[in-house]
Amino acid sequence: MIQIPSNIKVLLEKSIIALSTVDNQNRPNTVAIACCKVVGTNQVLVTDNFMNKTRQNLEVNKFVSLSFWNPVDGNNNEGYQFKGFAEVFTNGPWKETVDEDSNNVGLAHKAAILVTVTEIWDLANPGLITKEQ
C-alpha cells in the first residue's frame, strides 16, 4: 500500500481537482471538483454534488485519475496526478461523512466516492513518485 505524502495531501485538499473517468466506449470525461479530502494513507474521499456522466462511467469502469496543481507563480510550480479505482457510496459511513462536511452545505452531496490511490505522478517534474506493488 502506498502512502500519500503530507505535502501532497495539503495541496490536494486546498485545490480544485480534475477527476477523469472513461466510459465503456473509451470516451474520456473530466469534471472539476472542490470537495475532496484524504481519509486514509492511500484513500481520498470525493463528494458527488453534480456528477452525471462521471457516475455513469464509474458503473462500467472503476479506474480514475485525479489531477491537481498550484498555479504557476515562478516559485511554487507543483502538480500531481493520482491514479486508482473508485467506489460509490449512496449510504453508510462514507456518505454520512460527505453529508456532514461543511464544504457541502447547500449542495446536493448525492454520493461519496472513495478513491483508492495506486499511483502518484509528479506533473511539474514528470515522473512516477510511487506505485502500489
Report the residue count for the chain. Answer: 133
pLDDT, tens only, 71-88: 766 667 899 999 999 999
Q: Determine if the pTM surpasses 0.85.
A: yes
Give the DSSP letter string of 37-81.
EEEETTEEEEEESS-SHHHHHHHH--EEEEEEEPPP-SS---EEE
What is the Cα–Cα distance from 52 to 114, expressed in whole angstroms? 17
How does pLDDT run across 25-61, given as a tens digit for each residue?
Answer: 999 999 999 889 999 999 999 999 889 999 999 999 9
Give me the domains of the chain, ranges plus CATH numbers: 6-131 (2.30.110.10)
Q: Please tell me the distance from the alpha carbon of residue 79 to that of residue 56, in angstroms, as a whole number.
A: 28
- Residue 70 pLDDT exceeds 90: no
Contact predicate 85/61, CB 8 Å: no
